[in-house]
Amino acid sequence: MTTPSCTGIRRHITMRNVPSRTFAFVFVWSGLALAQPPKKSPPPIRNESASSISFSTIETGQLSAEIRNVTYEVTGTAIPALPSEERLLLRNTTKSKEIIGDEGIESTLTLEAWPLGQDPRQKPLYSLTVEGADGKAVDNALYVVLRGLEETPWWTVYRLGSGQRMFDTYVPLLSFSISHDVLTTRYVGLDAPADDTKDARLKQPNVVAVVTYASESKVIREALVTCDDPRKAALLRSFADSSRTLTLVEDAYQTARTLRLLISVDYPSPPEPMEIRIPVRNDDLDLAHAQLPAKMHIAAWKR
C-alpha cells in the first residue's frame, strides 16, 4: 500500500474539517482585504500670503495709501459642475490705491480656486482678475464681486465652479426658491446699460434696463425693458438721476411669485416712481402677463 504524503493528508484534513460556507467566506474576505489597502491621509499643507499697507506723499503733498488684503475661504460641497463631494479653497486678493482726501479709489480683485487638499503653490483650478473692491461665495454656487468703486454700486456674478462670468447687476442680487418642497434657488439681477456699453443694441434711445433670471449654472431668461419716450428712457436708465429696487412678492400661500421693479427719479426732479411687475411661472419670466406703466414695454432678449 502506498503511504499518502504529508501534504496530501493536510489538504484532506483541511477540506474535510472546514465547512464549505466558512471557507468561501474566508476566501472572499481575504480578497477584499488585499484589494482595499488602508487610505493614506493627505500630507499637511501650509500656505501664507501677506497683507500689507503703505503710505507715501505725492507731488501735491497729499498722502497716498496702498493696501493689499488676502483672505482664504473653504467652500461647502455640491458645487455645480464639480464632483458632489468636492470643496474648493478660495484665495481672495484685493489691491487698492487711494489718495487721502480725494474722491475715487482704484481697486483690483483676484480670485484663485483650488480643489481642497491641493497645495496652493500649484496652478489653481481657475483664476480671475477684475476691477473690484470685494467678493464672496454665495450658496456654494456663485461668486459675486462688488465692482462699483465710487458713487454707483454694481456687481458681477460668476459661476463658483469654473469662474465663468454670468451677468452684471446694478441692484443687489435677488435670490429665492421656486419650490417649497425642494430648495431650487433662482437669481435675478438688473443691468442698466452705461453710455459706454459695447453692445450697440443697448445704446438705442428707448432702452431702460435688462432683467436677468438665472439658475446656479446658467442664464435662463433675459428681458429688455424699453420706453416709447426717449427723454424718459434716458432719465430712467441714468445712474445719476434714478434709483432702482428689485424685490420678490409672494401670495399668502407662497405659490405665486412676482418680481417688483421700482425705478424712481431722484431729487430735485419729481419722483414719478415707475413700477413693473413680472410674474415668475414654470421656472421662467412670464413676460406676456407683465404689468408696466403706459408707453413702457418688456420683451425677451438675448446677448
Q: Residue for cell digits 489691491?
A: 95
pLDDT over 50 (residue 31): no
Return the domain boundaries, the chain.
Answer: 48-137, 164-303
Q: What pTM was estimated for this model as a whole?
A: 0.81
At residue 268 the predicted structure's pLDDT band, cuts being 50, 70 and 90, is confident
Distance CA 19, CA 38 (A): 30
* pLDDT value at residue 29: 35
Judged against a pLDDT cut of 60, whether residue 8 lies above it is answered with no
> Which pLDDT belongs to residue 27?
34
Tell me: pLDDT of 6 over 60: no
Distance in angstroms (rounded) separating the CA atoms of residues 184 and 130: 29
pLDDT digits (tens, 9 = 90+) for 10-20: 333 333 344 44
Determine what percent of the chain is predicted with pLDDT higher than 70.
Answer: 85
Query: Could you give the strand order of the β-sheet that contains 88-99, starting from the edge strand earlier in sequence?
Result: 52-57, 63-74, 88-99, 106-115, 126-131
Express each pLDDT in 48-94 by its tens digit.
677 889 888 888 888 889 999 999 999 999 999 999 999 999 999 99
pLDDT on residue 40: 54
How much is the average pLDDT of 22-40? 43
